[in-house]
């Protein structure tokens, strides 16, 4: 899906990224920024510089808009990856840029105390990293594409959601038979998610949020519970074993007590038999 930026003027696009910064700037700092911006936009020798600045502003605004739109449920990684790549590409071009005057790159990257471009880029990369988006993709020739693991998870998720929808009988009302009919795809989804967690240090937030929402829907909306026959057998076995321990303890104690008593009686009789013979010899 392609998004058309809501704001086309560069100055207005910058507002989206700079709002939080400008709130704390003094009048002198704003005058510094205005002076530098005017020198960039009104200098005919810096057409390339101005174009790159506009590209960075537009791509940054598009990514920010996309991130807000797909904040809930979280689909930032999957839906906004193209905008993130565009921002990264625009930033990289600015870093490699050279112009006739030699001042364009310096002015763009060091706007006095504002550091607008770097602050905006750090905000975008920080948001991307906090969502662990890199774990959703494979980096092939500097191009991000959904990994096979992510694609398979999304297929299982769509299958599970499709099963739920078959048993919808009204607005937020579902037939109880959904628990039995959809248990297999739901269990498959759970198992695969657990395997992802065990094999990675972190999990893409798109996947985490999708799994959390699905689990909440299963428990709170459908009121389903997972059947674990193997766990039931283990639980019953452990309970019976623990309950039987006192019985075995008392039976064992009684048995060993009788053995010790018999031995003591035998030793006493043997001692009595040997005592007279010893006295006669004396």
Confidence class for position 253, pLDDT limits 50, 70, 90: low
Confidence class for position 277, pLDDT limits 50, 70, 90: low
Burial class (CB in 10 A: 0-12, 13-18, 19+), 29: middle
> Tens digits of per-residue pLDDT, 21-46?
434 434 444 444 444 444 444 444 45
Contacts of 29 (CB under 8 A, 6+ apart): 112, 113, 114
- For the residues 56-75, what does the mean pLDDT come to? 95
By percentage, how much of the chain surpasses pLDDT 90?
A: 44
Note whether 173 and 115 are within 8 A (CB).
no
User: Does residue 186 carry a pLDDT above 60?
Assistant: yes
Rounded Cα distance, 209 and 74, in Å: 6
The mean-pLDDT minimum among 26-35, 92-101, 103-112, 252-261 falls in: 26-35
Q: Which pLDDT score is estimated for 244?
A: 64
Q: Which pLDDT score is estimated for 67?
A: 96
User: Does residue 110 carry a pLDDT above 70?
Assistant: no
Q: Which pLDDT score is estimated for 51?
A: 87
pTM: 0.64
Rounded Cα distance, 275 and 278, in Å: 5
Q: Which pLDDT score is estimated for 152?
A: 96
* Of 151, 173, 155, nearest in space to 164 by CA: 173
User: Does residue 65 carry a pLDDT above 90?
Assistant: yes
Rounded Cα distance, 52 and 104, in Å: 10
Q: Which pLDDT score is estimated for 211?
A: 96
Most confident of 12-21, 151-160, 197-206, 225-234: 151-160
Q: Which pLDDT score is estimated for 96?
A: 80
Burial class (CB in 10 A: 0-12, 13-18, 19+), 220: exposed
């Amino acid at each position: 899906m392609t998004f058309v930026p809501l704001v086309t003027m560069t100055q207005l696009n910058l507002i989206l990224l700079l709002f939080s910064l400008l709130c704390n700037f003094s009048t002198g700092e704003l005058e510094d920024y205005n002076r530098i911006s005017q020198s960039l936009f009104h200098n005919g020798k810096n057409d390339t510089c101005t174009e790159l600045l506009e590209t960075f502003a537009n791509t940054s605004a598009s990514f920010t808009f996309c991130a807000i739109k797909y904040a809930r449920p979280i689909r930032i990684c999957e839906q906004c990856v193209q905008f993130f790549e565009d921002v990264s590409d625009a930033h990289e071009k600015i870093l490699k840029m050279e112009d006739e005057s030699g001042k364009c790159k310096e002015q763009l990257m060091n706007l006095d105390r504002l550091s607008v471009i770097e602050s905006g880029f750090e905000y975008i990369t920080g948001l991307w990293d906090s969502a662990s988006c890199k774990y959703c993709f494979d980096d092939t020739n500097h191009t991000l594409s959904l990994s096979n693991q992510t694609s398979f998870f999304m297929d299982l998720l769509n299958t599970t959601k499709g099963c739920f929808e078959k048993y919808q009988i009204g607005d937020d009302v579902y037939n109880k038979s959904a628990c039995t009919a959809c248990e297999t795809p739901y269990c498959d989804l759970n198992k695969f998610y657990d395997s992802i967690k065990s094999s990675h240090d972190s999990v893409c937030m798109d996947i985490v949020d999708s799994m959390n929402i699905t689990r909440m829907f299963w428990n709170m909306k459908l009121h389903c519970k997972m059947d674990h026959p193997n766990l039931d057998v283990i639980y019953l076995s452990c309970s019976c074993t623990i309950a039987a321990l006192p019985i075995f303890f008392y039976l064992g104690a009684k048995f060993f007590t009788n053995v010790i008593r018999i031995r003591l009686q035998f030793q006493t009789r043997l001692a009595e038999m040997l005592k007279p013979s010893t006295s006669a010899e004396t």
